[in-house]
Amino acid sequence: MKLSAKWTKYLLALPESGMGYQKVDIVLSNGQIINDVIVHNAEEIELPEAFNDMKESEIYKIKLRIK
Amino acid sequence: MIRLSKSQSEYLLSRPESGMGFQLVEATLRGNNKHDCIIFNADMLSFLNEDFDAIYKSASRRYLAEFSDLEKSLSSDDIIRLEVVTPLYKAASFSECTGADKAPIAYSRKYEIFKRFSAFANDRRVTPDKGLLPGTYATTEDDASYVNRGMDAVARYALPDSRPAIYIFTIRPPEYTEIRRGVVEPANGQRGGGKEVIFVKGSPANTVTGPSTIPS
């Protein structure tokens, strides 16, 4: 999934987890949490298969994972 | 040991210490010979018999160099330039570090060059004015020389992206830019092992060039 400018801007204000990527947890509006998700270049998010149909509007919060 | 002149001491006092009470310095002598030195209290210079890496690893008083014949034959007038090697003991400890995120703050050295590998030509951590955002990762120029292909970078820097990191950005930060230095830990199914650097507060405008490209 490609994130919109709103989330990209948010992620760019946070440190990277490694060269070119961030590890995050995603909190959905329904309270569900998707743990340990990779975001490339602050814009491309690698979702588990089960969430392939998810829409960006369902994202409530993105939290950077602390290693 | 050689007692330094007042102006040399003043210069050293304007530079950071390498450790408590001492500075590691590269001294240029007349004839342009360069020597690694340790300077105590910004005024007593002693030439080193070991390189800085060895000094740090010894973590002991071994860095106290012997009173050499060289020192006996020289005075402060023979030293034409002193350059503090910024907390090199931190920089030198790559092999002993884990990830850069756990490393202490260190500083970039004068003219030090870093490289950043990316699968994206429009790398978003590179600011529009050609700086780096705070918290951005890169590697040293030396370590980057081991990377010939984009997939080499994926393995060496344990990148989670299956796409080859074929875009290389070059970073030339000012001296004393805050960084953390470490070694990439195995992750994301990759072995890691490359050097990694975090630009804690980023790098200022006009310090990033590129990208150049390498084969996949």
- pLDDT, one tens digit per residue, over B99-109 is 888 888 999 99
φ, ψ of residue B29 in degrees (nearest 5) = -100, 170
Q: Are residues B106 and B60 in the same domain?
A: no
The beta-carbon neighbor of A15 closest among B135, B153, B165 is B135
* SS percent in chain B: helix, strand, coil, step 5: 20, 30, 45
Q: Are residues B105 and B163 in the same domain?
A: yes
Q: Are residues B101 and B208 in the same domain?
A: yes
Interchain pair B196, A38: CB under 8 A = no
Token pair for B154: 């994926």
Residues contacting B148, CB < 8 A, separation 6+: B214, B215
Of B193, B19, B183, give the one whose Cα is nearest residue B103.
Answer: B183
Chain A residues inside the 8 Å CB shell of B101: 67
Instruction: Report how many domains make up chain B.
Output: 2
Highest mean pLDDT among A25-34, B26-35, B83-92: A25-34
pLDDT of residue B213: 97
Residue in the structure block whose two tokens are 């004068």: B110
Q: Is B189 exposed, middle or buried (0-12, 13-18, 19+ CB in 10 A)?
A: exposed
- With an 8 Å Cβ cutoff, the interface of chain A facing chain B consists of 8, 12-16, 18-21, 38, 40-43, 46, 67
A31 and B152 Cβ atoms separated by less than 8 Å: no
Domain boundary among B88, B117, B133: B88
Interchain pair B137, A20: CB under 8 A = yes
Of B35, B53, B132, B145, give the one whose Cα is nearest residue B91.
Answer: B53
pLDDT of residue B12: 83
The beta-carbon neighbor of A16 closest among B136, B139, B184 is B136
Residues contacting B82, CB < 8 A, separation 6+: B4, B8, B11, B12, B25, B26, B27, B28, B37, B39
B55 and B93 Cβ atoms separated by less than 8 Å: no
Which structural domain range is residue B209 located in? 93-213
Question: What part of B 110-129 touches A (C-beta under 8 Å)?
Answer: 116-120, 122-125
Q: Are residues B70 and B112 in the same domain?
A: no
Nearest-by-CA chain A residue for B116? A19
φ, ψ of residue A23 in degrees (nearest 5) = -105, 125
pLDDT of residue B114: 97
Interchain pair B165, A8: CB under 8 A = no
Q: Are residues B169 and B108 in the same domain?
A: yes
Q: What's the predicted TM-score (pTM) here? A: 0.65
Q: Are residues B131 and B204 in the same domain?
A: yes
How many beta carbons lie within 10 A of that of residue B210, not counting itself?
17
pLDDT of residue B62: 40
Q: Are residues B97 and B139 in the same domain?
A: yes
Q: Are residues B82 and B110 in the same domain?
A: no
Interchain pair B160, A67: CB under 8 A = no
pLDDT of residue B50: 54
The beta-carbon neighbor of B119 closest among A8, A15, A20 is A20
pLDDT of residue A67: 65
How sure is the predictor about B127, in pLDDT bands with cuts at 50, 70 and 90?
very high
Domain boundary among B88, B110, B137: B88
Question: Is residue B65 scored above 50 in pLDDT?
Answer: no
The beta-carbon neighbor of A18 closest among B124, B133, B137 is B137
Highest mean pLDDT among B12-16, B78-82, B127-131, B157-161: B127-131
Nearest-by-CA chain A residue for B124? A41
Q: Are residues B25 and B81 in the same domain?
A: yes
pLDDT of residue B39: 83
Does the N-terminal peptide bond of residue B174 adopt cis geometry, omega within 30 degrees of 0? no
Of B47, B33, B41, give the one whose Cα is nearest residue B2.
Answer: B47
Q: Are residues B200 and B123 in the same domain?
A: yes
Q: Are residues B119 and B143 in the same domain?
A: yes
Nearest-by-CA chain B residue for A45? B161
Domain boundary among B88, B115, B140: B88
pLDDT of residue B49: 64
The beta-carbon neighbor of A21 closest among B101, B135, B160 is B160
Token pair for B147: 């990377």
Q: Is A5 exposed, middle or buried (0-12, 13-18, 19+ CB in 10 A)?
A: exposed
Mean pLDDT of the B89-116 span = 77
